Every structure is written in C-alpha cells, then in structure tokens.
Chain A
Amino acid sequence: MTLCRPFPRSLRSIDGLAAQFRRAYATQVSTASTRRLNVPIDFGATALLHHHRSSLATAPEIPSDGPSSRLNLCQSVNSALRTALSSSEKVLCFGEDVAFGGVFRCTLGLQEEFGKERVFNTPLTEQGIVGVAIGAAAEGMKPVVEIQFADYVFPAFDQIVNEACKFRYREGTSGGNAGGLVIRTPCGGVGHGALYHTQSPEALFCHVPGVRVVMPRSPSQAKGLLLSAIMDCQDPVIFMEPKILYRAAVEEVPDQAFTLPLGKAEIVKPGNDLTIVSYGRPLYTCLAAIEAAEKDLSGLRVELIDLRTIYPWDRQTILDSVKRTGRAIVVHESMVNFGVGAEIAATIQEHSFFSMKAPTKRIAGWTTHTGLAYEKYILPDVTRIYDGILKSMEY
C-alpha cells in the first residue's frame, strides 16, 4: 500500500526557477527583473486612456460637457449597445450566448431591458448568424451581431465577402443594401489564447471591399465608433474589439451618447521625426516603446497614429504625417505577411517616395501561428518596436 508521501524534496528545493513558472498565467504578476522595455503595460497610467475627467476636454470629438463614468471596454460597448437599442426599434442584438450577457459580458442586461424579440441567443452557426443578419439588414433592420471570437468568423466568411460586401453593388439602382449590419467580434492576443483565441483577421476583410473594418483602442473610442457604426454608417461594419482591453483598459467615458467618425485616423501623440501607425492593443506597446526611445534619444519626437478605421482607411492623415517625418513604422498583431502594414507601406512608398529618409518598417506578428508557449515572442513587443525606432532613426 502506498502511503501519501510528503511533497518531494527535490521540487521544494527548486526556488528561483519554480517561482518563475508558477502562476505564469496569473493576472497579477510581480516582476522582480532588470527589464526596462518588456515590462507589462501599466494601463492605469498610460497616456492613451483618460484617467481623469479633465483629460476628456483635450480629446478631439469626445464631449466633455456632462457627466462621465469610469468604464472598461466591455462596459463601454455595453453602454453603446444600450444607447443604440434605446434609440431605434430597428436595432437588434443577437449571437451565441448574448442573452445572459455574453462570454465577455458585453451584452449584460440587454435582454432584460429590451426583450427577447430584439436581444436573443442563436444556435451555434456563424454562417447562419451573419446570413440572417444580412437578410434582416436588407429589409431595414439594424442587426448588431456578435461572433464570439474573431477566430470563429471563418464559417461566415462567404456571407461577408460574397454577400455583405457585394450586396449594394449588385442591387444597383434599387438601393438595396446591408448597411444596417454590424458584426462585433473580440480579437487579439491575451497571453494564453494560443491558436484559436488570439487571431486578428482584419486584413482579410480589407481586401474585398464593401465592409468597413473598425478597431477601437479604448473605452471612449469604442463607444463613439460603435454608435457611429450602428446608427449612422450606411455600410456593413466589422467592429473588432481587442479582448485584452475589455478589462485592462479603464477610463472616463462620457455618459451621453456621442459618435466618432469612421474613416478618420487620429494622431494620438504628435511628433516630427518618425511616424508610427497602429491600431488596437499594439498602440499601448508602441507608446511604451516611444517613451523609452524618447528618453534615450534626446530631442526625438515620434508621432503615433491610431488608424481606428482600418478599411477604408484615412490615407491622407498618414501621408501628411510621413511627408513631415520622412520615416514610418507600421505595427500590428497579426502576421506581417500580406497584412495591413503591407498596404500602408506600399501606399507610403507610392505617394511619398522622395520624402522618405528610411524604408517603411512593418513590426508585426511573425509568419507563424500563435502557439501558446510562444505568444510573447510572436506578437510585437516593446523591445522590437523600440529597436525599430532606433534603426529607423539611424538609417
């Protein structure tokens, strides 16, 4: 008979190494390290978020008259959905698990408030969800559907590319369109999503024109952009929500309804020496890299631009910027090959060739899949962006 043995000595004696591996996926991580660059982003301090009401006044297009509340990204999405559902009977909200609040709680309380006819669960079928939504949009409804993870959008790819994108075009003079459609989907890496809870497929939806692809960087941006997508936009929208920001990004968000323009990039940090273009979660990584580089290279001023709408994109803002700076870097999570960065880089070299002092660098996911053990090496980190800034300035 084997008795319970005490915890083996050998394991108990491994201290330093075990301490690193234990709780590697815990939310709270203590870093006793000599790292300067690849340290966790301090979302509580980043300049990209409005930590105080007063900073809302400096934000272009965001109302600062009136009360605001501290919301995280999923709360601000919830707020936008509530506003949209209140303002028009045509707004519907359906998808897998949305009734109880959704796996990320973005639809919390909506079914109770607006009823089962307008907010409801669907069977497990992305192609069914998007196909039904297109048909409803074609008859004047505003369906805001959720694809539970961007990794699972692919069964709906045919409906998006062959139907939603082409609907208005093939209807011609009849004016028929699926413009009322909004597809919301969590995207991006969280550190442990691995192959199928990490993807950011925005590039795939930018190639066949006909839908707008939007990615907010913060709770206040999400509210304004999502309301614009639902209430004003005449085109179908794919609204990609960086899931790591659902809880991490917390800021003051105006209580009132407001919209932010689609198709317009925003210069979140002005500068004259180098332009960095990005969107979504990597913006925070970029800002950390910029701060480190500006500390190390005195006088350096890097301009950081948030695309916000990835397609159709605000080419003018980016081209105006690189005309001034002469150097550009594009940063995105998904693979570098044939990604959004390729389009931006090609556009820059086509229109600003002689203004450029260095080649346009794309810092993005390596051309591989996001294996669990390797995520932090694959997705662009502060070190790579920092190094990219230095290389561009040294060119």
Chain B
Amino acid sequence: MEWEAPSNTTPMPTYSIMNANNMIEDPTQITSDIPVEDVLTWYKNMLTVNIMDGIMYDAQRHGRVSFYMVSAGEEAIMVGSAAALAKKDVITCQYREHGVFLQRGFELKDFMSQLAANCNDPGKGRNMPVHYTGREKVGVHAVASTLGTQIPHAVGAGYALKMEALDSTVEPGVAVAYFGEGAASEGDFHGALNMAAMIQSPVIFCCRNNGYAISTPASEQYRGDGIASRGAGYGIEALRVDGTDIFAVYEATKAARRKALEDGGRPILLEFMSYRISHHSTSDDSTAYRGHNEVSYWNSAQRNPISRLRQWLEAKNAWSEELDVQTRAQIRKDVIRELSLAEKEKKPALKEIFTDVYAELTEEVESQRQELREIMQKYPAEYDINQHKGGLGGL
C-alpha cells in the first residue's frame, strides 16, 4: 500500500515578486508596463482604506457608528487583486474587502452613506456597517454576514457570464469570490469548488488567509496545507501568494483571470497569505487571544503591505515623506468631512421596512404597513419618525 501521507508532501511555495528589501529583482515577473501613476493610485487607495478604517474604528468607539471592521494588513490583497480585474467582472465578497470597492470606483461618500445607513445608501439602510451594496457602481454583490455563502454565488455568476459570452460579440468576464481562511471551512466552499470544476465556471476563488477567524488561529482552522492545497482535491489549479506584496497579488490575479478564461472557462484558486493586523471587528479585543509582539511583527515596516509599497515607490523617487504626510492629512480631512456629511442626512423612508422582500408588496404586508402607520399616528411621541426621509408620509 502506498499511502498518500500529508507529511510526505512539501507545503506549496508562496509566490512573491518584491524581495525582503522591497525591490523587484526580476523585472520580467511584471508582465506588462504598469505606469507609475497606476502604482501611485494603488498606494493612495491603500492609504485611504487604512485611514478610513482608523477613523471609523474610533467613530464606533465614540458611538457615531454601531459597528466597524478594520482591514489593516490586507490592503495589498484588496487593492492589488481588484486592480487586475475588469470592470465587467462580477464579485462576491465576505466583509473585509473595502479596498476592492475603493479600487473599483467606490467613493468616500458611498462608504459613508452605507456606514451611516442614510437615504443615500443603495442598500437602503438595511445591512450592518461595512456590508456595502456596490452592484451598480462597482459590480459587487451586496455583502452578507453569512460566511461562505457567497462562494457558490460566484460560481453561478461565472457560469452566467460564460453563457453570455457564447454570443461571441460579448467580451468574456470572470466572477471572483473573496473569503477568509475560516470561511473556507464552511460546506459552501466545498460545494462551490466542486461544482465550479464540474460545470467549468470561469471563477477566481480568492482566499484571504489572514491567520485568524475571530480568535481562532489558522492552526486551529485546518490541519492541511492551507487553502491552496485543496484545489488539487477538486481538480482546480491553485497558487499561494504573498499577500503583503502588491505586485505579486496583482500579477497572480492577472494570471488567474487569463487562466480562468481559457478553454471556455474554468475555476482558479488563489490563496493570499497575510496577517490580520486589526481586531476582528469593533466587537472584538484581540489582546485576549494574541500577543502584542505578534501584531507588531506583522505591522513592521518590512512586512506591512503599505510600507512595503511605499519603500518601492520612494526607491523609484515617485514618493517622499513630505508627500506621505500631506496625502495622509488630506485623506483624513476628506474622510471626516464625508462622515460628518453622511451623518447629517436623513435615514431612508420608513416604507423601506417592507419593500424589496418580494418584487411587489403583498396584500398581507400592505396591511401590516397600514397597521404600523396607525400605531405611529396614534403614538407619535414614541417614535423618531422624522429621522426618516418623508417622516410618516414616507411609510
């Protein structure tokens, strides 16, 4: 018997482009000329996410928002991967992908409207903060808190894109699912990857392995060789990538997209290795389960994805300390301004309590709406009706 023992196989290597000094030794690894302006945009987007995260974390502590999730440590994953995708690509994600939204065109006002659950939120104030609705603007399915459920959605979306492209005048697109290494333990991951391989859906599975699922370290999440090694089990090609190296993230995603469109479409698995510098969310204090040294190790200038790119930019004379200070200050001002503006807006109209469950309001729900209206008319002082657009008339 020749048993296949996991200990016999070597762990999958991690693909990187930048070396330890954040220089690119082998320029042929960059497959096309990326203009420095684009890289600068990436850098500013990473800064924007990071600064917005910091401000919103504090805003939650001050009671200005109910909840927030910081994405520190994963800026290169979010921005770098999104930069390699096409506008028509359809994305499903978990909840720690703010940089994907930003890189694809979300503006500060879009973030703040959702965070403030105001009448400008396309999600109509229904979802918790950071659960953005970005379908129209950036092609991302609305974020749900359920873990892993988005993975098979991307498989189906990819299949729809594939069917659409059978009409050959249409440019083919891919679907992309982002998820953490913890979510990859869910049954939906298994169902999705197996089906994707069988129906040959052009989908890129992007796992953000940031080392933690709330308090559960990766060493308690799986015994195998991470998530990338699972690809083989499904017949799916996979690559492990240094998620703190934005060039590696970008090139890997670009290659994955090209591969996913080969032979009429097929799934590809990417595992981006990084570290969750932040707490899981504002409801979490990670000092309860991990040491300060571990966090500062990954937040150091040599490992933090933002400072890694900054070193590269400064070595190219495309950036400076002075520019950094200025830019950060400007971003800070912009974020605070947009947050304050968003807070002043009204909440969505009260009728949005009931709409969009079905395409049309049912008779039953119409009578419930009427019942609520009568209660609010009878006891106006008991409700903050005027916080909502249109007041009682908006119900």
Contacts and interface: CB of A to CB of B under 8 A. Distances in A.
Interface of A: 89-90, 92, 94, 117, 120, 122-123, 125, 127-141, 143, 155, 158-159, 162-163, 165-177, 179, 209-210, 212, 234-235, 263, 312-313, 315-316
Contact of A170 (B92, B127, B155, B160): B127
Nearest to A173: B122
Given A172-B142, A315-B364, A138 B124 contact: no
B153 A170 contact: no
A312 B124 contact: no
B142 A123 contact: no
A127 B160 contact: no
A174 B153 contact: no
Contacts of A175: 135-136
A135 B91 CA distance: 10
B153 A131 contact: yes
Contacts, number: 175
A158 B191 CA distance: 13
A80 B166 CA distance: 25
A172 B156 contact: no
Given A132-B195, A170-B126, A313-B364, 10 more contacts: A128-B194, A132-B156, A135-B153, A136-B157, A158-B149, A162-B146, A169-B126, A171-B122, A172-B126, A312-B364
A175 B164 CA distance: 20
B109 interface: no
Contacts of B135: 171, 174-176
B79 to A, nearest CB: 23
Contact of B159 (A129, A132, A168, A179): A132
B357 A209 contact: yes
Contacts of B198: 122-123
A10 B230 CA distance: 62
B149 A162 contact: yes
A313 B136 CA distance: 33
A166 B145 CA distance: 12
A241 to B, nearest CB: 22
Interface of B: 90, 92, 121-124, 126-127, 131, 133, 135-136, 141-142, 144, 146, 149, 151-161, 163-164, 166, 175, 187-188, 190-192, 194-195, 198-199, 201, 352, 356-360, 362-365
Contacts of A169: 126, 356-357
B184 to A, nearest CB: 14
Contact of A159 (B142, B152, B190, B352): B152
9 contacts: A122-B199, A125-B190, A131-B188, A134-B156, A135-B175, A169-B126, A172-B356, A175-B135, A176-B141
A163 B149 contact: yes
B156 A127 contact: no
A138 B151 CA distance: 13
B195 A173 contact: no
Contact of B195 (A129, A168, A170): A129
Contact of B163 (A94, A128, A141, A263): A141
Interface hub of A89, A132, A171 (most chain B Cβ within 10 A): A132
A155 B187 contact: yes
B357 to A, nearest CB: 5
B144 A162 contact: yes
A372 B116 CA distance: 56
A139 B359 contact: no
Nearest to A141: B160
B234 to A, nearest CB: 10
Contacts of A316: 363
A170 B191 contact: no
B123 A131 contact: no
Interface hub of B131, B157, B160, B198 (most chain A Cβ within 10 A): B160
Interface hub of A117, A130, A173, A312 (most chain B Cβ within 10 A): A173
Contact of B356 (A134, A168, A315): A168
Nearest to B159: A136
A94 B199 CA distance: 10
A136 B156 contact: yes
B146 A128 contact: no
Given A120-B199, A170-B123, A172-B122, A135 B142 contact: no
A120 B121 CA distance: 39
A176 B35 CA distance: 35
B136 to A, nearest CB: 5
Contacts of B122: 171-174
Given A127-B187, A137-B156, A155-B187, A171 B133 contact: yes
A250 B58 CA distance: 68
B152 A173 contact: no
B192 A132 contact: yes
A170 B143 CA distance: 8
A173 B356 CA distance: 9
Nearest to A179: B359
A135 B362 contact: no
Contact of A139 (B126, B127, B142, B161): B161
B363 to A, nearest CB: 6
Nearest to A169: B356
A37 to B, nearest CB: 36
Given A125-B191, A128-B194, A174 B136 contact: yes
B171 to A, nearest CB: 15
A92 B160 CA distance: 10
Interface hub of B131, B152, B155, B362 (most chain A Cβ within 10 A): B152
B362 A139 contact: no
A125 B195 contact: yes
A302 to B, nearest CB: 26
A174 B133 contact: yes
A210 B357 CA distance: 5
A168 B360 CA distance: 11
Nearest to B175: A135
A236 B45 CA distance: 38
Contacts of A141: 156, 159-160, 163
A131 B151 contact: yes
A158 B183 CA distance: 14
Interface hub of B131, B146, B159, B364 (most chain A Cβ within 10 A): B159
A29 B123 CA distance: 59
A168 B199 CA distance: 26
Contacts of B90: 139
B152 A131 contact: yes
A315 B153 CA distance: 34
A171 B365 CA distance: 19
B330 to A, nearest CB: 30
A89 B163 CA distance: 9
A37 B15 CA distance: 75
A113 to B, nearest CB: 17
Contacts of A123: 191, 194-195, 198
Nearest to B142: A170
Contacts of A155: 187
A389 B146 CA distance: 47
